[in-house]
Amino acid sequence: MGAEYDLDAAIRKVPDFPRPGILFYDITGILTTPAAFRYCVEQILERYRGEGLGGVAAIEARGFVFAAPVAYALGLPLILIRKKGKLPGGTYHARFTLEYGEDEVEVHRADVTAGSAVLLIDDLIATGGTLKAACSLLEQGGARIAGIFGVVGLPFLNYDRPLEGYPVHTLIQYHGE
């Protein structure tokens, strides 16, 4: 598909955000650079086209941005995973731990098809907690996780532990500073 693209050049590193000691990897530069965004979408399509997927799931909010064009291009349903209280009707829900507390995500029950293979997309994989909760939601509905994709991976935060057993792929990884 598309030519190689230097994603590192498009990702801004912001020290001490959202609090001192944290280095924040800001992917908005990818979104404001059409060639970088196109490269990301093309790489996802190249990797997962022909995999027999039944849906593409995305985590609020930046995961939606990458998953929507993928679902569209593959002609698949887009399954939105949202923070608690954002979806009307029946939902599956899962709690997860953050470094500063707990949170909860939900998905519409009607959006998850039992037996379908689902690709789960987010912009950045840090500790893996949110993605593990998202996998749990989809599995509650009988779906199978065909893959987890993140544009950016931070393996130094050990996301491999909570996501053990799931196929995880990223386009770029940072190994700490």
Q: What is the pLDDT of residues 51-91, one digit of tens each?
A: 999 999 999 999 999 999 999 999 999 999 999 999 998 99
pLDDT of residue 1: 43
Question: Among the options 49, 51, 95, 99, which is catalytic?
Answer: 99
81 in Cβ contact with 59 (< 8 Å) = yes
Distance CA 17, CA 15 (A): 6
62 is catalytic: yes
Q: What is the pLDDT of residue 3?
A: 63
φ, ψ for residue 29, nearest 5 deg: -65, -30
Indicate the residue type of 14: V
52-173: CATH, from 3.90.1150.200, 3.40.50.11540, 3.20.20.80, 3.40.50.2020: 3.40.50.2020
Active site annotation includes 42: no
pLDDT tens over the chain, length 177 residues? 446 799 999 999 999 998 898 899 999 999 999 999 999 999 999 999 999 999 999 999 999 999 999 999 999 999 999 999 999 989 999 999 876 678 899 999 999 999 999 999 999 999 999 999 999 999 999 999 999 999 999 999 999 999 999 999 999 999 976
